[in-house]
Amino acid sequence: MTLDVSTARERRYGRWLLLAVLPIVAVSLLPLFYTFISSFRPGSEIFQYLSPLSVHTFWPKELTLENYATLLSGTFLPALLNSVIVTTVTVVIGLTVASLAAFGLAVFDFPLKNALFVALVLSFLIPFEAVAIPLSSMFRDLGLANTYAGLILPGIGNGLAIFLLRQFFLGIPPSLSEAARIDGASWLRVFWTIYLPLSRPSLVGAGLILFVFQWQSFLWPLIIAPSPTMKVAPIAIADLAGEAEIDFGAMFAGALLTAALPLILLLVFQRQFTNSLASSGTKE
């Protein structure tokens, strides 16, 4: 929808629609705004002004950085670092596995190909939380408890990422790879030099799916990595909420820091994310 085709009437109509959109945006942002504000409040102030309603319910009386100081002196930073490591490795390996599989499914023809595709996507659609308990005893037997590998492995298989990339690969003209094959390129080379570079937007989309999934995970780290040094950020924050005396200020600060990194990534990649899905996932 480009501006030059939109008439004055359409733009006026768009401004009216804005009135419908803004309250929804407000609802979406309000909890984040509240978190942001509360993270800069002295601990005693957080619940003091909740009721009755006053300006100070949503705006702090005095600003402080003490919550961040408390948080950073504890075990939160190592946990956040663990989250970053686990998620980054998940995205890199996950993208490799998914794009290789998608290439295999999109480019070659072999018996039972469609059955394999449906089986792969369906099995990965049963997220591992559902089978977390038997999986965790297997991981413990293999000595993967309290290791990065134990945290990362279940996140790398993602049916949605395979599905997305396969759809995109199907749209790449076969003539490109045929020409390269005649020139003597190996399939791996075709994959690496033709398919991957052409698929950057859809790789961003698949990467974001993998990222969000691992960044969000809670039950699995709770089961497989209970050791204090292997905690990930969501667990560290939940721990703050579980202690006898809950330090809500530090918790809000932790929530904000945990959300900040993906927030930045989303803001940077959102356009590409939408576009990549638009140009791959949905073509008839």
Partner 1 sequence: MSVTRTVTSRSRTRTRRSALTALAFLAPAVVGVVLLRLWPAVEALVGSFTSRSGDVSFGTFERLFSDPTFIGSLKVTLLFSVVINPLQIALALLLAVLLTQTVPLVGLWRTFILLPVAVPQIVSAIIWGVLFRPDGPFNSVLVALGLPAVPWLTSPDMALWSIVIICSWVGVGYWMTFLVAGIKDIPETLYEAAQLDGAGPWRRFTNITLPGLRRPLLFVLVADTVANFLVFAPVRQLTRGGPEGSTNLIMNTIFERAYQIGDLPAASAATTILVLIVVVVVGIQFRLLPGKD
Among the listed ranges 61-69, 73-81, 105-113, 143-151, the one in contact with partner 1 (CB under 8 A) is: 105-113
HSE-CB for 61 with a 13 A CA cutoff: 12
176 binds partner 1 (CB under 8 A): no
Note the residue count of the chain.
Answer: 284
Question: Where in 187-206 is the site for partner 1 (CB under 8 A)?
Answer: 187, 191
Candidate list 72, 77, 92, 116; residue touching partner 1; CB under 8 A = 116
Residues touching partner 1, count (CB under 8 A): 113
Question: Where in 138-157 is the site for partner 1 (CB under 8 A)?
Answer: 138, 153-154, 156-157
Compare residues 65 and 241 and give the one whose CB is closer to partner 1: 241
128 binds partner 1 (CB under 8 A): yes
Compare residues 198 and 261 and give the one whose CB is closer to partner 1: 261
Least Å distance, CB 248 to partner 1, is 7
Q: Are 220 and 148 in contact (CB under 8 A)?
A: no
Question: Where in 229-268 is the site for partner 1 (CB under 8 A)?
Answer: 233-235, 237-238, 241, 248, 251-252, 254-255, 258-259, 261-263, 265-267
125 binds partner 1 (CB under 8 A): yes
84 binds partner 1 (CB under 8 A): no
Helix axis angle, 76-107 to 200-216, nearest 10°: 140
Candidate list 69, 81, 133, 176; residue touching partner 1; CB under 8 A = 133
Q: Are 167 and 104 in contact (CB under 8 A)?
A: no
Candidate list 68, 76, 124, 168; residue touching partner 1; CB under 8 A = 124
Candidate list 72, 97, 180, 198; residue touching partner 1; CB under 8 A = 97
Write the CA distances from 7 to 2, 10, 21, integer angstroms.
11, 5, 21
d(CA 237, CA 216): 12
Q: Are 84 and 64 in contact (CB under 8 A)?
A: no
Candidate list 40, 68, 76, 103; residue touching partner 1; CB under 8 A = 103
DSSP H helices, the chain, are 8-39, 55-58, 66-73, 76-107, 113-125, 132-141, 148-156, 159-170, 174-182, 187-190, 196-198, 200-216, 219-224, 233-242, 248-278
Task: Tokens 């978190």: give the residue.
Answer: 35
Least Å distance, CB 283 to partner 1, is 7
